[in-house]
Amino acid sequence: MKRSTKHKIGLGLFSIMCVIVWWSITEDHSADEKAQQSKKTHYVELFMNEFELISMDENGKPSYLMTGTHLQRYNNSDVTEVKQPKLHLLQQENQWLVSADSALLNSKDNTIHLKNNVVMQQKNVEPALTMHTDRMMVHTKTQIAQTKAEVKISQGESELNAKGMTYNNTTSELKLLSRVKGFYTPTNVPSDADNK
């Protein structure tokens, strides 16, 4: 009788230990499988080399054109990575060319984050207004460019430096945020010969 009880207890403990071992092994495998699945589901969905991309506004007119040396987007992301982007803002009267080392296009919030060696230059105007900074965000729907980084703005002989700026391409309004310094030289000053 005692032997049978010991045998049942031993068999019961063995069964419980088997279930625990099996559960721990199964749990580890399912974690590994999940990790492998997540790696498998993260892949480049779209890529192009030497591309040209045109975006239209609500009226069917070109809003901006972007070119670059490489573009790629992952399947589970709203962000498209761009190398050597050149962004052409195509407002009829206020056209700009913005270039940088890289950019992130976010299709969900309609922004372009430009990074490293950002240069924004006015087109079809002499002398052109040029802005240099390390990073800039452009809202493509509202045509607003902004940065909180140091920015250098030059036009002809004039030069301004500031910490942060906002430029509205629709209204042509430029706001310098803080630590503004520099000098301004008017471009259309009549010479002495004109006064005679």
**Tens place of pLDDT per residue across the chain (196 aa):** 455 555 556 666 666 766 666 666 665 555 555 555 555 677 888 889 999 988 888 888 888 899 999 999 988 888 999 999 999 988 777 889 999 999 999 988 999 999 999 999 999 888 889 999 999 999 988 889 999 999 999 998 889 999 999 999 889 899 999 999 988 787 665 555 555 4
Fold of 44-183: lipopolysaccharide transport protein A fold (2.60.450)
β-pair partners for 53: 66
The structure's pTM equals 0.71
Instruction: List the domain boundaries for the chain.
Output: 44-183
pLDDT of residue 153: 93
Q: What are the phi and psi torsion angles at 12 (to 5°)?
A: -65, -45
pLDDT of residue 30: 53
How many C-beta atoms lie closer than 10 Å to residue 166's C-beta? 14
Query: Distance (Å, rounded) from C-alpha 89 to C-alpha 65?
Result: 7
pLDDT of residue 63: 84
SS3 32: helix
Query: Distance (Å, rounded) from C-alpha 169 to C-alpha 141?
Result: 11
pLDDT of residue 2: 53
Distances in Å between the Cα of 175 and the Cα atoms of 76, 87, 130, 144, 153 are 37, 21, 15, 11, 12
